[in-house]
Amino acid sequence: MSIKAMDFSLRINPSICFTQNPPKPSSKLRFLTVRCSLPLTSDDAATGLAERPWKVADARLVLEDGSIWKAKSFGASGTQVGEVVFNTSLTGYQEILTDPSYAGQFVLMTNPHIGNTGVNFDDEESRQCFLAGLVIRSLSITTSNWRCAETLGDYLAERNIMGIYDVDTRAITRRLRQDGSLIGVLSTEQSRSDEELLEMSRSWDIVGIDLISGVTCNASYEWVDKTKLDWDFNSNGRDQETYRVVAYDFGIKHNILRRLASYGCKITVVPSTWPAAETLKVKPDGVLFSNGPGDPSAVPYAVETVKEILGKVPVFGICMGHQLLGQALGGKTFKMKFGHHGGNHPVCNLRNGRVEISAQNHNYAVDPASLPEGVEVTHVNLNDGSCAGLAYPALNVMSLQYHPEASPGPHDSDCGKNFFPTSLDFCLFT
């Protein structure tokens, strides 16, 4: 082992350095020599050095517009492509991570501080994480919550989900608001060039892809998980299975099912391709078409199922279910500029003039001008005027574009009445 040494010499004039009004130059100088030595290996590499106490940038987010954002990684490693969207929720990052509607997307949180409450296993909204990755400004180095079971980084790593932090999320959000949602590639692989990642982002598209088939259940099942008393808003219908509901799983969230159960519903969850004839055979009191990811025009089989059920049983749609109902009724859907993602979207109920702060997560919307006569727009998003709710009394149809169960988010829309449009007292959401 060799020793490499460096000498530093410093010439100091004390009368000049340590007085407020330095005198004229003097020849009285002092010399200080510092010798630094470092043991080296045979290949001249330093030995015995501790790791840096800080993490350096080891990841890149490359957007299809050519911008490259260097960041630090946490969670899983590798390379992943997805659509970048921003979410304005202040809390509830675990529910967002497990919301199947985010399949194929990188979720950028505008709230800068993420991870401070860790992760628990009670707040999961599905059986796994379906999003492509998580983009945040600041990753909390500690957790503080009585329900915390593990850190956010460990949680993502175990589920093979990539995350990055120490990136300018405000600048990316402004870019998305100006240019619309962008396809991006997230990579920790230094062997891949920026040009290669840029080409990947420009050669992939989320439009027209059936994302529902990747998040739906494989077989039908009965929902048996009851809503815990601490989170239950209704005590009258609890444990009274009064109504039989068939819920189509296009990416359904657990709290939608919990809210139904708390109002006395016996729920059978079925896959997205479940035949309408099988649904009608059990003679349900109502059918729920759930939320889900992606483009409603990419799942024509689901639209046909909705058409076969309309008019035969009361139906209710949420998010993707709302869009599928709009198409089944003869309307059209379109891709929004950057969509609605967050727990602070104001919606006006046009029937009573009531304004609700809602939780939303969608990139597509129903075009109200394309709807046939008789279909009523019941709710409007006050940020951009887009359609947020439909009703067609002639066929006992009702739907909402947003998430009335609000997990996470405010519970303004969960008023315990007017869920399914029927003369029965079959109620859950406004």
Whether 155 contacts 119, CB under 8 Å: yes
| Residue at token pair 């962008």 | 182
C-alpha dist (Å) from residue 229 to 166, 233, 252, 255, 259: 39, 8, 22, 13, 12
Spatial separation of the C-alpha atoms in residues 294 and 404, rounded to whole Å? 19
Q: With helix as H, strand as E and coil as C, how does 280-334 read?
A: HHCCCCEEEECCCCCCHHHCHHHHHHHHHHCCCCCEEEECHHHHHHHHHCCCEEE
Spatial separation of the C-alpha atoms in residues 421 and 189, rounded to whole Å? 53
Token pair listed for 139:
């990753």
Whether 261 contacts 295, CB under 8 Å: no
Reported as half-sphere exposure (CB side, CA atoms, 13 A), residue 298 has a value of 18
Spatial separation of the C-alpha atoms in residues 168 and 163, rounded to whole Å? 14
- Cβ neighbours for 32, distance < 8 A, ≥ 6 positions apart: 9, 10, 12
Which of 407, 404, 398 lies closest to 429, judged by CA? 404
The residues annotated as belonging to the active site are 319, 403, 405
